[in-house]
Structure 1
Amino acid sequence: MGFTKPNFPPIDPEEFLRRPLMDRMKYLALWWVENGFGTPRVIHTIYVFKLLFFFILGGVVVATATSHLVFWDVASWWNQPVVYQKVILWTVFLEALNVAGSWGPLVGKFKPMTGGVRFWAKLGTIRQRPWKWVPFTAGDRRTVLDVVLYVLLLASLVVAVAPPGVITPSLAAALPDNTTGLVDPVLLIAPVVLLVLVGLRDKTIFLGARGEQYLPALFFFAALPFVDMIIALKLLIVVVWIGAGFSKFGKHFANVVPPMVSNSPFMPFKWLKRAHYRDYPTDIRPSRVGDLMAHVGGTTVEIILPLVLLFSTNRVITLLAVAGMVIFHLFIVSTFPLAVPLEWNIVFAYATIFLFAGFPAGAGYGVTDMSSPWLTAAVVIGLVFFPILGNLRPDLVSFLPSMRQYAGNWASAVWAFAPGAERKLNSVVGSVPIQVDQLAAMGYDPAVAEVTMQQTLAWRTMHSQGRGLLSLLIKHLPDVDQRTVREAEFLCNSLIGFNFGDGHLHNEDMINAVQAQARFEPGEVLIVWVESQSVHHDYQEYKVIDPALGVIERGTWKVADAVDEQPWLPNGPIPTNVTWSRRAEHGAGI
């Protein structure tokens, strides 16, 4: 792999594209095992530069300069509450602009690299309300009201960060020597209200700003006295960790870690990458090493260490647990996961240090130190409501508020276009060019650009959902080998400016909004879409959708069948159970 050149598979692209689809998937999945996406080092360098200088240095400068602190004197500010608050506000601001997570080439934003703000501040782009029953949210296009609310949200975050802190009575009582204060609680009302209003009209911006995690933090900043605020923030981060850890008990997660490790630019040893798979190249299901990395290095860490941090009153044990969680988040950063949540992981590493080393349970900041057990109960219930609902009814709640980060249990989709039909997506208002055109604009040969995008589809087949989705394509499309097949997460990024691995962002609502302008003919596009697995079922529910006709089939597949198969489906499509079909009900096909 060169610094400026990608590590491209050693194939003739034109000849390769003439192969059957699943032959291509096998080759590219095996290539991924040893090489990952093959991203040139310059791309990783851009991300590291953005993280270190734009996010970390920029955030520290903003937080300290506006609080009359010296940014190079770390000892004077690392445990200052106002700095922590402003770091969170800075992060929300960058996430809401979409220059933090889900940014750049690793998510299919090649040229331009930024999506969110270019779409969310533009009239006529696709807007997706989370719940149709909410009044005053009808429609699927961004209006003047939406743009105004979004711009006001950005402005309110700047207004909250800019002034110096104020000394509140509760802060003075808890930390009488503190002179830097807290962000003025009054200035936090507007960001909280605006994030809710924006989110009710467009879930994309809410999730892009990571509102499911930062909105509670902003609310705690505004509404709670100091000690209660710190304890509530601890409960928030622990719920995020444990929720993510709990979600990884399923069958999906072991399939997530090996492809992630294979894609890490800091893992130079191919033998170590191969060790995460059972018997490369014949069997690339997770090996015992992959399982241990997933469930010991992942699941166990995310459940045990947070509980230690929450309840430990022993300083040494607390600091060891802090170190463990910091290492955990830095490891995730080092793998450059495809949603690239680098800033989020750095914030969580800093939050771990600030909350648990700076305000340990043994110093009066334990769960039992909250001012009222009723308040403790209310905070806990509020924090676990959406994770519980989302695990029981994943159709109602995005996997992000469900706290299933990187659990492998995602709503996902794949689109299959008849020859030439994909270019109709360029007619969608606000859309950047489709990704093969973005690559072509950067000088890529069209065949090379096509193989590059097919690597993302092969990556999807290395996860459980990909095997079910491609099984459905094979069953429904006799001409699947001649179709242009796209992984929907990457496609979604060019259509709405953001995706974070959440299939709810490219469900029927987005499909209908796209169809209104792309105007696909029946049969030109077939979309297979699957919902996350609920915690009490052993199957996933899928839909087959023709944008011109709507849903044409619903059904299920067993999760065990998907995880037990190879990415290239050597035994044919996995079994599916059809629960409804348009053909059976109406006597019409696609």
Structure 2
Amino acid sequence: MGLTTPDAPPVDAETFESLPLSERIRAVVLHWVDCGFGSPKLFHIIYILKLAVLYIGVGVILATLTSGIGAPWQVAQWWNEPIVFQKLVLWTFLLETIGVAGSWGPLAGKFKPMTGGCLFWLRPGTIRMPPWPGKVPGTNGFNRTVFDVVLYALLLIALFVPIILPGVTGSTVAAGSPEDLGNLVSPPLLFVPLVLLVIMGLRDKVIFIAARAEQYGPAVLIFGLVPFLGNGLVDMIIMLKLLIFSVWVGAGVSKIGKHFSFVIPPMISNAPIIPGKAIRRLHYRNYPDDVRPSHLASGIGHVLGTLVEIVTPLVLLLSTDWTLALAGTLLMILFHGFITSTFPLAVPLEWNLLFMYIAGFLFLGHPNGDGYGLGDASSPWLIVATLACLFFFPVLGNLRPDLVAFTPSMRQYAGNWASALWAFQPGAEDKLNAVNRPTKNQVDQLQEMEFPRVAAEITMLQTAGWRSMHSQGRGLFSLLYHHVNDVDRATIREAEFSCNSLLGFNFGDGHLHNHHLIAELQRRCQFEPGEFVVAWVESQPIHKSTQDYMVIDAAVGIVERGTWNVADCVKEQPWLPNGPIPLNVTWRDPHYTPASRSTVTSMESAPQSAGAQKPESAVRHHDLATEPALQDAAERD
């Protein structure tokens, strides 16, 4: 890739769009193996400058100069000061809430402009997504009002104020907070943004999730509880250790299973620090015929990922040995540093940098052996209560992923995500231009950046190809082959990317573009039946071997529900050379007829590839008469 020139797939632009969908997906997948997204190096430079100047530079200046603890360059004086730590957490919280941290820029599908977030959320008439539409008083509707805009603006102000105001002396905040620990942010200031965030979240879950409220929210709450803790600041540090422990371990546990191995190869392929094609190809079984994860990739994922994220935090939390604390902290810093270096598509770079700092602040700046271990808590019940609160949503979310978004479930990077693919009949995507928003469809954004139309389409298909490389991608494409008329001519979009241009944010969470969003798009855009079809799947519950899917026709609603076995997904190639995976239909709208199976039939009769067997039946049906509850559930939605 060049400085300003992307590394595009080596295809014939004049004939590429006429190829069958499976051949086009294969082409972009094989290109991803060698080049990742193929982004120009300028994109990575922009992200690095944003981190260095806006996040680190401005953040450290604000945190230090308003705390009265040394100059920004006097790191040794402030790196382990609680008030600086508090303000850097608040600064990250603020940037996430504005929309200039995670899910920002071209690697998140924001090309022109590169910022979504606040440009959407300060604009009346854009789409908002209440988490429980029709169930919480005062939250009905999907249209952003002036009230929502004012509420969001107040939230930003409430997060900024404690950053710029000086702190209060530790000993005046709570007993057990000695003077030599420096100042703290005034606790009463911290409850205001939390209250506003809850109100905002009940009206728009997009902003709540974008703010990473499931992690920064508990941290700020712990800051605010200092006056009520028996050991004051000591208890605060211990509770913060439990918080980061829950994030790490929750993420580690979520990686157990079949999905995570499929995250590693495309992530490595997209990492600009990986030299050449040979190392990238080592992470696939037998390029170009079999691009499932190699044993090397699986080993990296489950040893350097799963094992490290579970065992190392346990050592850091329980050990009082300084050497172990140093080794464990350095390991977690390297862990987050590696993730940052890969520039993952959701680009949570600030979050990873903050966790690198948090690890050092908590376990080296306030080591267990110096009075900040679990045994130094004011009460063992404080530890029990904190752990119960912190693990409630991760446990619930992994048992019932339909109830909890993947970020509160701590499934970041797990590969086990709710996700979707969108299929438009030719020209139908243009109807999305009726949506009030400060941007356009990504394919139009790229053309405004002087991409030829075909090049823009190929770029967008690369994101769908990326999805196909993950476990759930095989199932989603299988649904499209069954439900989209003339799928080879349809416009295929990866829903997470498209959602970014409609809501201003997405972080890999299919709950943001579920049937509620599709219904709102239909209200605004008026698609005809068959023009806009969505294949959507929920995350896999930790105790099941299947995933629940639904098919949505925007003009009709949910038309089919069913399940697929994850084992059937992971044995196939991304481009499905053996045809669609087996699907278990549990409910179908009696007035709905799936698209012609001509494409499916031709795919199933094609030569098979290594690693999979042709299914006896691509679709299995349940007798709906024996499962009325499923039909009732579908009708309720």
Q: What TM-score comes out, normalization by structure 1 length? A: 0.98
Are 1:267 and 2:274 an aligned pair? yes
Q: Deviations over 1:72-128 (max 9, x none)?
A: 000000000000000011001110110000000001100000000001111111111
Report the equivalent of 1:8: 8
AA aligned to 2:62 is V
- 1:269 positional shift: 2.5
Mapping of residues 367-406 of structure 1, within 5 Å: 367-406=374-413
2:46 & 2:591 partners in 1: Cα distance? 53
* Change beyond 3 A, Cα 1:574–1:164: same
Give the alignment partner of residue 463 of structure 1, picking from 470, 492, 500: 470
2:27 & 2:223 partners in 1: Cα distance? 51
Give the alignment partner of residue 206 of structure 2, picking from 204, 207, 210: 204
- 1:270 positional shift: 1.2
Are 1:535 and 2:542 an aligned pair? yes
Higher mean displacement: 427-436 or 210-219: 427-436
Report the equivalent of 1:96: 97
Higher mean displacement: 180-189 or 483-492: 180-189
Report the equivalent of 1:517: 524
Are 1:302 and 2:309 an aligned pair? yes
Report the equivalent of 2:48: 48
AA aligned to 2:220 is L
- 1:431 positional shift: 5.2
Mapping of residues 347-426 of structure 1, within 5 Å: 347-426=354-433
Report the equivalent of 2:625: none
- 1:586 positional shift: 3.6
Report the equivalent of 2:215: 213
Q: Deviations over 1:33-53 (max 9, x none)?
A: 111010000000000000111
TM-align CA RMSD: 1.3
Look up the SS of the partner of 2:568 in the other structure. Answer: helix
Report if aligned partners of 1:119, 1:125 keep a CA contact under 8 Å in 2: yes
1:428 & 1:56 partners in 2: Cα distance? 36
Report if aligned partners of 1:170, 1:227 keep a CA contact under 8 Å in 2: no
Mapping of residues 61-76 of structure 1, within 5 Å: 61-68=61-68, 69-76=70-77
Report the equivalent of 1:113: 114
- 1:134 positional shift: 2.2
Report if aligned partners of 2:171, 2:178 keep a CA contact under 8 Å in 1: no
AA aligned to 1:259 is P
AA aligned to 1:49 is L
- 1:176 positional shift: 3.2
Look up the SS of the partner of 1:95 in the other structure. Answer: helix
2:126 & 2:410 partners in 1: Cα distance? 28
Report the equivalent of 2:345: 338
- 1:57 positional shift: 1.2
Report if aligned partners of 1:172, 1:178 keep a CA contact under 8 Å in 2: no
Are 1:485 and 2:498 an aligned pair? no
For structure 2, the 5+ residue unaligned runs are 227-231, 596-637
* Change beyond 3 A, Cα 1:588–1:564: closer
Are 1:139 and 2:141 an aligned pair? yes
Higher mean displacement: 472-481 or 318-327: 472-481
Look up the SS of the partner of 1:14 in the other structure. Answer: coil
Report the equivalent of 2:196: 194
AA aligned to 2:102 is G
Higher mean displacement: 125-134 or 287-296: 125-134
AA aligned to 2:424 is F
2:215 & 2:509 partners in 1: Cα distance? 16
Look up the SS of the partner of 1:529 in the other structure. Answer: strand
Report if aligned partners of 1:425, 1:431 keep a CA contact under 8 Å in 2: no
Q: What TM-score comes out, normalization by structure 2 length? A: 0.91
2:211 & 2:31 partners in 1: Cα distance? 34
Look up the SS of the partner of 2:420 in the other structure. Answer: strand
Report if aligned partners of 2:474, 2:574 keep a CA contact under 8 Å in 1: yes
1:559 & 1:588 partners in 2: Cα distance? 26
Look up the SS of the partner of 2:86 in the other structure. Answer: helix
Report if aligned partners of 1:249, 1:299 keep a CA contact under 8 Å in 2: yes
Mapping of residues 499-510 of structure 1, within 5 Å: 499-510=506-517
AA aligned to 2:89 is I
**Identity fraction in percent:** 58
Look up the SS of the partner of 1:553 in the other structure. Answer: strand
Look up the SS of the partner of 2:180 in the other structure. Answer: coil
1:177 & 1:233 partners in 2: Cα distance? 20
2:438 & 2:422 partners in 1: Cα distance? 17
Are 1:446 and 2:448 an aligned pair? no
2:8 & 2:568 partners in 1: Cα distance? 32
- 1:174 positional shift: 4.6
2:471 & 2:370 partners in 1: Cα distance? 45
1:346 & 1:549 partners in 2: Cα distance? 45
- 1:179 positional shift: 6.7
- 1:160 positional shift: 1.0
Are 1:578 and 2:578 an aligned pair? no
- 1:363 positional shift: 1.3
- 1:163 positional shift: 1.1
* Change beyond 3 A, Cα 1:203–1:158: same
Are 1:169 and 2:171 an aligned pair? yes
Report the equivalent of 2:292: 285
Are 1:84 and 2:91 an aligned pair? no
Higher mean displacement: 310-319 or 167-176: 167-176
